[in-house]
Amino acid sequence: MRDFEARLNKLLTWINECVPTAGSAPFVSSRITVKNSPDSGRGLYAVDHIRASEKIVTIPHSLLLNYTTVMAHISKFAPFSLQEPYYGKVNVPSTPIDPVTEIYKTFSLDTLLRLSSFQLLGLYLVLEKRRGENSFWKPFLDMLPELDELSSAPIVWTILKHSEAEHLTRMLPRSTRKHTNDVVSRFENDYNRVSDFLGSATHISKEDFLWAWMCINSRCLYMEMPQKSDASDNFTLAPYVDFLNHSGNDECGIKIDAHGFHVLTSTPYKPDSELYFSYGPHSNEFLLCEYGFTLAYNKWNYVDISDLIMPLLRPQQVAFLKESGYYGDYTVNEQGASFRTEVALATLQENEPSASRKLKAFVDGVIDGLVYQSKSWRLLGQIMKKLIGDSDKKLASEFSSPEGRALATLYKDTKMIAEKTLKGLQ
């Protein structure tokens, strides 16, 4: 804990000593502090009463880590200059020459611009961490989580081949396994692209890049990058702001202007209460796969039952659903089945769905679908009972590790939604 406090004080000193440009002075409210809890990790807490709409943090552009600032820093060593006005917002202090800056000297502008923001920032974080005390970003890098703090994310134990990885993979719900495979694929693509960019002269390990990649993925915040056209490149890392943990409610808001990145409260806070920020309307499955954590209660949870419905569909029913735009993505949440799911259940009741005026009227919203309700509810009830049974079997397994306990949360979520849905059908 003492080491944490020392590193936090260095981070605050680094922020407060930032050289302001055009009025962009840093600000961290005296009404907030950072606490490191063994249970919930790092978070921002109120030390005094805080009003709604009160500014609590401002981080100038020069202290944000994004495509613009990284390019500005690398350009001080690489054989090219950047003339665009948005680079003028970035104050790059003088830093020592070392083996890493010698690597930067080999970078060309054309090849750098072909890297995505994820690829560039991942590469930069790894190389700057190597620089140690020479890195301008060291106070921020020292406060980023270690890889073992992110180990609940399935991608981490998958890539690192955790001793229980095979068992944990078998325990994943199908939709979570698919999401995990998508995340792993994104990571592998970025790692291979960066490895190709560096060539044989410089090597970064997959583990080091995974640390950087997960820090970015779990902490990036939306911010438009003027030199990038892909929406996935529009993000930044914001020191100190990244201590804000996720809530399903919008308890803090963000404003970005010429002076920097500002955080304002959306609700009042009492002393000792934790401040939150919403990462978006994400289910626990999404939060676990992308960020490595889950919430005790998450109003955005849902269960994907596509794998239980789609095998029941006959070819003519599949054709109708595809033509109508309702094939796949069949979900149930606390409020019940989605309309897509209702359409699929209704389609299962038609031998020739394309010729059914009744089904077309339901899909078009002309009728409410009561004519399909009895059989749809019967089938949905059977599916819910299967989910409850499957969840009970999984929850009876051993979930002693932190990774296993995170997976247990997903099955508890599934069982709760299935039980609520089943009760609503009765």
The answer to whether residue 109 scores a pLDDT higher than 70 is: yes
**304 lies in which domain range?**
300-423
The answer to whether residue 388 scores a pLDDT higher than 70 is: yes
Secondary element (H or E) of residue 245: strand 245-246
In a domain, 350, yes or no: yes
In a domain, 67, yes or no: no
The helix, strand and coil proportions of the chain, stated in percent and rounded to the nearest 5, come to 50, 10, 35
373 pLDDT tier (thresholds 50, 70, 90): very high
Predicted TM-score (pTM) of the model is 0.91
C-alpha–C-alpha distance, residues 8 and 267, integer Å: 26
- How many domains is the chain built from? 1
The answer to whether residue 361 scores a pLDDT higher than 80 is: yes
Residue 333: both structure tokens together: 């949440």
Q: Give every CB contact of residue 335 below 8 A, 6+ residues apart in sequence.
A: none
In a domain, 176, yes or no: no
C-alpha–C-alpha distance, residues 181 and 70, integer Å: 29
In a domain, 416, yes or no: yes
Give me the mean pLDDT over the 379-406 stretch: 90
Best CA proximity match to 63, nearest among 143, 183, 147, 5 = 143
In a domain, 359, yes or no: yes
In a domain, 128, yes or no: no
Tell me what pLDDT residue 223 has.
87
Cβ distance 363 to 324 under 8 Å?
yes
Amino acid identity, position 121: L
A 10 A CB-CB count for 337 gives 24
- The CATH number of whichever domain residue 358 belongs to comes to 3.90.1420.10
What single DSSP character describes residue 157?
H
More confident residue, 40 or 62: 62
Tell me what pLDDT residue 85 has.
84
Give me the mean pLDDT over the 12-26 stretch: 80
C-alpha–C-alpha distance, residues 146 and 165, integer Å: 19
Residue 153 burial class via C-beta count within 10 angstroms: exposed 0-12, middle 13-18, buried 19 and up: buried
21 pLDDT tier (thresholds 50, 70, 90): low
The answer to whether residue 156 scores a pLDDT higher than 90 is: yes
In a domain, 334, yes or no: yes
Give me the mean pLDDT over the 46-53 stretch: 95
What whole-number percentage of the chain has pLDDT above 90?
A: 74
| Per-residue pLDDT tens digits for 52-76 | 999 999 999 999 999 999 999 999 9
What single DSSP character describes residue 258?
T
The region of weakest confidence among 162-171, 344-353, 368-377 is: 162-171
In a domain, 54, yes or no: no
Give me the mean pLDDT over the 362-370 stretch: 93
Place of tokens 């094939």: 327
Amino acid identity, position 384: M
